[in-house]
Amino acid sequence: WRKYREPSWTSPTATATYNHAQNRVTLNWNSLTDPYPTDQVQGYLVLRNTTNNFSSPFDGRVYTIGDIIGTAKVIASINPSTNNTLFDNLDAAACGQTYYYRIYGYRFNGSFNNHPARGRAYNETNYAETSVFIEPLDVSVSITTPLTSLPAGTQVTITASPVNVGDPSNIQWFKNNAFTGQTGLQYTFTPQDGDQVYAYVDLSPLCATQATSNTIIFEVLGCDAGEIIGPDYLCYNSTPT
């Protein structure tokens, strides 16, 4: 009798992918066999665990988000059965952690004190399961500028080329090992002789690596009146022009 009350699920499969920027896992699975999906009688119970250890839900019981079954946590109860995507927003994903998921199909509503033949019925043998490994995202940044040797008072712009940085505001600019207060893809300033500039990114709260760019060192040129500095500058009264 219990077997007839359970929903049918042919070859259940599931996938899980992690998004670093949003700190969430996207779950997808194939649908239950449901001849009448609009009646919302059938659906899914989704469990998450940090070990691949799951206990089956009890027939005759309706679980809610946050309930614990064995050592796994209920993260969703979904219907109708045509809804087969879930976004699992993680509070604090642990780098290097594997998250395991199991998805049980159910039929009917109502809790009857775990009665095996009344209320909600779960398919305890055919279920979908998947896992995702939270791997630190490799982040890098390099910086370039067209001019590193220049006359005093010349303004320069340094441009960053980031990889997996996300929002450009995550790029911080440092001059002489002190944070300039500036963020973004470019940093514009008037250098002094010997100034050293680099960019830094820290995405460790989002399970990503830290990155420090190459360092650019500036040479500010002094000159005598009438002296030519390179192909572009002529000193007049000791001022480059």
Per-residue pLDDT of the chain in tens (241 residues, 90 and over written 9): 456 578 899 999 999 999 887 889 999 999 998 888 888 889 999 999 999 999 999 998 999 999 999 999 999 999 888 999 999 998 776 788 999 999 999 998 766 565 556 679 999 999 999 999 998 888 999 999 999 998 888 999 999 999 988 889 999 999 999 999 999 999 999 999 999 999 999 887 777 788 999 999 999 987 644 455 555 555 544 444 4
Tell how strand 24-29 and strand 196-202 pair up: unpaired
Global pTM reads: 0.69
Partners of residue 73 on adjacent β-strands = 48, 68
